[in-house]
Structure 1
Amino acid sequence: MAKIVLFGATGYTGRLTAAALTAAGAAPVLAGRNAAALGALAGELGGADTAVADVADPDSVRALLGRGDVLITTVGPFLRYGGPALAAALDAGAHYFDSTGEGPFIRDVFERDEQARRAGVALLSAFGFDYVPGNLAAAIALREAPRATGVDIGYFIASPGTSGGTRASMAGMLFERGFALRGGQIVPERSGARIRGFDVAGRSRTGVSIPGSEHLILHRAHPGLRETGVFLGLPSPAARGLQLTSLVFDAAARVAPVRRLAEEAIGGVVKGSTGGPDAATRAHTRTWAVAEARDDAGRVRSSATLSGVDPYEFTAAILAWGARTALAGGVRATGALGPVEAFGLDELTAAASAAGIR
């Protein structure tokens, strides 16, 4: 019988996702490196099957899966550790979901599109707060302005907390070249290359450009789309600081010895799997995703704003929904897919609302 496997179950996002799955009536197999921690988590959730697997032993990851299964992986940083889970899903013929926000890894997943089609599976990368709400907001805006040639998406968080895994992922991306949709083509573009303002719930907020899944996805359904921007909301001084930092790291990344030394230094300071914001902090966090569709003259023709809950709460809930829906045969296509492509706009809108973003 096909099953849901949650790899990285004892990490911060993994634990939240495990709780969301069991609350929805699913019976996931909890997988990770530490048998004792897995057993303790299974006990907290009222009992669940567990399996030991480690990305350092790819065969152990492959052994988790059979054809028709659904794999959720929260094991990051994905640029460093994500490959074995992706390869295992493709080899096994299992649908794949991950929680990454790392643009270069998302692009790696989309480069497996043909392989996924041949395997008859769907690959759903960045299926969390990064970047489901922006894809959804953009699809709503573009539905109202189907002839738009440009769309900008901004992500904004009030009172944010971050997990150790998120900080490790952010650090790992410092040396990676980003990308964007420019002139109808995916082109290299460093993170922080652009800064712009958004109207967010009646307030002006600043966003700095980042590589997101929207660059890779939106123009597939809207062939007239020539420009896509994805922006992370930061206070203006921090946005300028990130812009300057990205210039420095972009230059350092071109010098192999400098890059290696800097990566070792950052790795010694930033650790993954070190917990994250507690329930009380998450309860006070609010988020927005804003999309603006523009014409050739740069005039905004349509906009959509989604608002909702803490990013980690949303990520856990939407991952659980996506995996359960895929297990039930609810994915509409195969290949490397965006969230709207996989489930449809109306279905995804309803699922996002149930997960706390409306």
Structure 2
Amino acid sequence: MKVLSIGGGGGMGRTTARTALGFPFVEEIVLAGIDHERADRFARSLNDPRIRAIYLDITDENALRQAIRQCDVVLNSAGPFFRFGLPVLRAAIAEGKNYCDICDDWEPTLDMFALDEEARRQGVTAVIGLGASPGIANLLAVKAAEQLDEVHELYSAWRLSNAHNEDDGFFDENEANTDAAAVHLVHCLSEKIPLVRDGRVEDRLPLEHCGFDYPGVGKLDIWTIGHPEAVTLPRHYTGLRNCLNGMLGVETIIDDLHQLADHVRAGAMSLEQAAALLTSDGGREKRRQRLQEHEGPDAPGILAFAGGLKDGRPARAGARLRHVPSGGMSAVTGIPHALFLPLLHQGAVKGSGVFSPEQAIDADAFFALLNGFVEGRDCGLTVTFAH
């Protein structure tokens, strides 16, 4: 299997590449992006003849398609995806190549679903949003929903304090400041989200509060954010009355987040300016420390909650991980992305078309593979249930 890793020199892409090199069926990995110097330095550091780097400007459609033409599978880590997701998928489908990305924006997710018929005609399997959230969160939702006969509510959530990267030796000053992840976060806080609330799809502003009783844990509070789970899960679980994705444990900074989002919506600052404000002068680390001061030692990091009926009675179910791969956000996103390759190789991914993770991937097969990348060889998948 020959793999083209677009954006492969970035933090997520580097983890994806390291993981993919561990699969014996992978013959070649080509890291492609505009930061060729860093990608090349990283590739050479691995001392493996199967990996190399090329310069690629993905806004150059001819160059993009030529690079894709040489591979079997495209792994796309190039964000923000509201800018770069759709054109890369379109090129992969045009070249008849299987595809997976870590798209965490809902708008391009819907645009990419519109390419489903074309992907089927070309015999392409494309999974969008296979990282942490979306990705792990979606498949936790599958495990929670499996406990019920009817699912009426489906929530996924993650802890913002976990959204940090650890220096792998190739972290540079630009990546530490106004990076794609920070731009993405501001975008998700400032744009309306089409949420299923009380059985209707409504465009709602982010940072709405929602509380629910998670079985075995108790009351949890989350604040909505514009991630794709809120628009993909209702496509798979029809008839939901409420569905959203949110952040856990942001009570102490919620006013700051509201203020930042208001400034962007009012045009007082651009996405890039707001992202720079979030990350300047150690802002990301200070925010993380502030959040962690108010978290308990057993605070869940990523989870899903389902409410509905079991045996005709109201019931609740939850699914969460006790452990995730070490290495910060890059690891918990990049490793699931790389797992697309063995899942595809094993036949644990649905046939041709454009899919979200819950539509295409065998959740049990995914978590079995993830176990191999968590300290102690067990991610601690915990499913709880209560009437």
Shorter-chain TM-score category?
A: 0.7 to 0.9
CA-to-partner distance for each residue in 1:96-133, whole Å, 9 max, x for gaps?
21123222232322232223222222222221011122
1:89 aligns with 2:92: yes
Distance 1:264 1:345 in 2: 36
Corresponding position of 2:243: 228
Distance 1:36 1:183 in 2: 51
CA-to-partner distance for each residue in 1:289-340, whole Å, 9 max, x for gaps?
2222223899542222223224321222111111343256542222221223
Task: Give the 3-state SS of the residue equivalent to 1:215 in structure 2.
Answer: helix
Q: Which moved more, 1:311-320 or 1:61-70?
A: 61-70
Distance 1:243 1:34 in 2: 34
Corresponding position of 2:205: 190
The answer (yes or no) to whether the contact 2:164–2:329 under 8 Å persists in 1 is no
Corresponding position of 1:17: 16
Shift of 1:270: 7.2
The aligned amino acid for 1:215 is A
Shift of 1:81: 2.9
The aligned amino acid for 1:129 is A
Corresponding position of 2:103: 100
Corresponding position of 1:353: 371
From 306, 313, 335, the counterpart of 2:331 = 313
CA-to-partner distance for each residue in 1:76-108, whole Å, 9 max, x for gaps?
112123333122112111122112322223232
Distance 1:113 1:83 in 2: 12
Corresponding position of 1:344: 362
Shift of 1:209: 0.8
1:4 aligns with 2:3: yes
Shift of 1:143: 0.9
TM-score by length of 2: 0.76
Task: Give the 3-state SS of the residue equivalent to 2:303 in structure 1.
Answer: strand
- Pair 353,340 (structure 1): closer, same or farther in 2 beyond 3 Å: farther
Corresponding pairs, count: 343
The aligned amino acid for 2:306 is A
CA-to-partner distance for each residue in 1:147-198, whole Å, 9 max, x for gaps?
1211222212555425633112213444433222235554422221333356
Corresponding position of 2:37: 36
Shift of 1:21: 1.1
Corresponding position of 2:183: 168
Distance 1:218 1:110 in 2: 13
- Pair 128,244 (structure 1): closer, same or farther in 2 beyond 3 Å: same
Corresponding position of 2:173: none
CA-to-partner distance for each residue in 1:44-101, whole Å, 9 max, x for gaps?
1223233321123122111111397211111111212333312211211112211232
Distance 1:285 1:235 in 2: 16
Distance 2:118 2:313 in 1: 38
Question: Matches of residues 38-53 of structure 1 in structure 2 within 5 Å?
Answer: 38-46=39-47, 47=49, 48-53=51-56
- Pair 342,158 (structure 1): closer, same or farther in 2 beyond 3 Å: same
Q: Which moved more, 1:201-210 or 1:14-23?
A: 201-210
Distance 1:157 1:264 in 2: 20
Cα RMSD (Å) of the superposition? Answer: 3.5
1:77 aligns with 2:90: no
- Pair 59,45 (structure 1): closer, same or farther in 2 beyond 3 Å: same
The answer (yes or no) to whether the contact 1:289–1:305 under 8 Å persists in 2 is yes
Distance 1:286 1:24 in 2: 33
- Pair 24,208 (structure 1): closer, same or farther in 2 beyond 3 Å: same
The answer (yes or no) to whether the contact 1:193–1:243 under 8 Å persists in 2 is no
Task: Give the 3-state SS of the residue equivalent to 1:152 in structure 2.
Answer: strand
Distance 2:235 2:84 in 1: 29
Distance 1:85 1:243 in 2: 32
Which runs of 5 or more residues in structure 2 are unaligned?
166-175, 290-296, 382-387
% identical aligned pairs: 21
Q: Which moved more, 1:200-209 or 1:187-196?
A: 200-209
The aligned amino acid for 1:305 is R
- Pair 153,100 (structure 1): closer, same or farther in 2 beyond 3 Å: same
Task: Give the 3-state SS of the residue equivalent to 1:135 in structure 2.
Answer: helix
- Pair 87,107 (structure 1): closer, same or farther in 2 beyond 3 Å: same
Task: Give the 3-state SS of the residue equivalent to 1:230 in structure 2.
Answer: strand
Task: Give the 3-state SS of the residue equivalent to 2:21 in structure 1.
Answer: helix
Distance 2:275 2:189 in 1: 12
The aligned amino acid for 2:32 is A
Corresponding position of 1:147: 150
The answer (yes or no) to whether the contact 2:9–2:36 under 8 Å persists in 1 is no
The answer (yes or no) to whether the contact 1:75–1:81 under 8 Å persists in 2 is yes
The answer (yes or no) to whether the contact 1:195–1:239 under 8 Å persists in 2 is no
- Pair 318,130 (structure 1): closer, same or farther in 2 beyond 3 Å: same
Corresponding position of 2:301: 288
From 197, 203, 216, the counterpart of 2:231 = 216
Distance 2:202 2:359 in 1: 22
The aligned amino acid for 2:97 is A
- Pair 172,148 (structure 1): closer, same or farther in 2 beyond 3 Å: closer
Q: Which moved more, 1:10-19 or 1:152-161?
A: 152-161
TM-score by length of 1: 0.81
Distance 1:85 1:159 in 2: 28
From 238, 257, 260, the counterpart of 1:242 = 257
